[in-house]
Amino acid sequence: MTKIEELQQRLAQLSQERGQLSISYNQFTGAMMEVERQIAEEQQKIEGSQPSDTGASTLQEETAPST
């Protein structure tokens, strides 16, 4: 096998490895996006279950005597 053939074979191997890494990268990216979505969903649940402060201030304004 000539030096050029060896280099061409190595280039083909590297190209194949790059393709596999690209697939892995996309899988990791997709997994990260899914986890980010789950985090946002959980944060919305937490924020939705906490009592809001605006309700208390509105109630005070309604019951306060007017001058």
- What's the number of domains the chain is made of? 1
In a domain, 22, yes or no: yes
In a domain, 1, yes or no: yes
Domain that holds residue 30: 1-45
| Residues ≥6 apart with Cβ < 8 Å to 1 | 9
Q: Domain for residue 64, yes or no?
A: no
* pLDDT for residue 51: 74
- Does 55 reside within a domain? no
Does residue 66 sit within a domain? no
pLDDT digits (tens, 9 = 90+) for 5-56: 999 999 999 999 999 999 999 999 999 999 999 999 999 999 998 876 655 5
Residue 40 maps to a domain: yes
CA–CA gap between residue 49 and residue 52 (Å, rounded): 9
